[in-house]
Amino acid sequence: MRLPLRLLFALILAAAIAGCGFHLRGVGSGNLPYKTMYIALPDTADVNIWLQRYIRSSGSTEIVDDAKSAEAIFQQLGDIRQKGILSVNAQGRVREYRLQLTYTFQVVNQKGQVLVPINEVALTRDISFDDSNVLAKDLEEGLLWRDMNNDLVNQIMRRLSVVKPKNPDLEDDE
């Protein structure tokens, strides 16, 4: 009697989760509305490398090497990274830093018409600091910057897949 009750409960729970639109993080977030895309960033830029990796793994959009053959062109408008003092101790030494990343981008077509308007992603991380562990804290800071880059690319991909691109040809007629 006890086993069928658990099985019934598990089936109800699975149906409720499936019915509410739940899906694992990253599933379906890479379907971009463009067939081809050019990323107007240097080949060695971290954002470019990660964006290409995410877009290629989704399989729906092809990354091209020439802006003239691309349906959409990803443009970076700003990339500001700052490290500021968050708090100090009684002796006036730094106790915490705040890492801030502000990234702005847009997507245009070959004619320069805006498909996705300017978007801004702002990320912040706080890191404690200790004079006796400078090397360890430098490594931790590097890991936090890398984590922020990964989070940035995830947010860009989500925004590009959710935002419905404008049709610039319709706007020109009005």
Top-confidence residue, 151 or 6: 151
Domains of the chain: 28-168 (3.30.160.150)
pLDDT at residue 24 in the model: 57
pLDDT digits (tens, 9 = 90+) for 78-133: 999 999 999 999 998 999 999 999 999 999 988 888 888 999 999 999 999 988 88
pLDDT at residue 9 in the model: 82
C-alpha of 27 from chain center? 14
Element (H, E) at 139: helix 134-162
* Claim: this prediction has a pTM higher than 0.85: no
Q: Compute the distance between CA of residue 68 and CA of residue 65 in angstroms, rounded to an integer.
A: 9
